[in-house]
């Protein structure tokens, strides 16, 4: 599964990268169905948020390293290199630019209801994504 991550660059800017969330484990349930599982990971905390339609935030860093699951609405993020990505319901991205200039966020269709999964201190992105 593809996840887009945006992060702080050495010059204090931000950029996107495409990462893959692997499903390395096969699980067989009590009914004989096989399905794939990813590696488990700890979450520092989780919080739901509702961002209003038309929200337009200028440059800011993510308040925490976090996975963001879009439940409803549509939003876009712009990085300092001018790239723009959009997400809608069921899509996940990783906000990982807690320092530097950060990114811009806009809600295109809203309200945008989100689930933020905040990563614990010391979380290594390669533990989850390859």
* pLDDT tens readout for residues 68-123: 999 999 999 999 999 999 999 999 999 999 999 999 999 999 899 999 999 998 88
* pLDDT tens readout for residues 20-31: 989 999 999 999
Biggest alpha carbon–alpha carbon distance for the chain = 53
Measured distance CA(48)–CA(2) in Å, rounded = 22
Which CATH fold would you assign to the domain 2-127? Jelly Rolls (2.60.120)
Confidence label for 19 from pLDDT (cuts 50, 70 and 90): very high
Q: In this structure, which long-range contacts are made by residues 7-12, counting pairs with CB atoms below 8 Å and at least 24 apart in sequence?
A: 7/96, 7/97, 8/61, 8/96, 8/97, 8/98, 8/99, 8/100, 8/102, 9/80, 9/100, 12/99, 12/100, 12/101
- Identify the CA nearest to 70 among candidates 101, 111, 31: 111
Measured distance CA(87)–CA(70) in Å, rounded = 7
| Annotated domain spans of the chain | 2-127
- Identify the CA nearest to 103 among candidates 75, 123, 122, 128: 75
Measured distance CA(96)–CA(5) in Å, rounded = 7
Q: Is 37 exposed, middle or buried (0-12, 13-18, 19+ CB in 10 A)?
A: exposed
């Amino acid at each position: 599964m593809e996840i887009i991550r945006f992060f702080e660059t050495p010059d204090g800017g931000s950029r996107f990268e495409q990462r893959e969330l692997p499903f390395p484990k096969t699980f067989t349930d009590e009914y004989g169905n096989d399905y794939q599982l990813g590696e488990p990971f700890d979450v520092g905390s989780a919080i739901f948020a509702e961002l209003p339609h038309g929200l337009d935030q200028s440059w800011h860093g993510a308040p925490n390293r976090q996975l963001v699951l879009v439940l409803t609405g549509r939003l876009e993020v712009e990085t300092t290199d001018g790239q723009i990505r959009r997400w809608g319901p069921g899509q996940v991205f990783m906000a990982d630019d807690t320092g530097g200039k950060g990114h811009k966020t806009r809600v295109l269709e809203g309200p945008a209801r989100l689930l933020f999964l905040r990563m614990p201190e010391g979380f290594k992105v390669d533990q989850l994504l390859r």
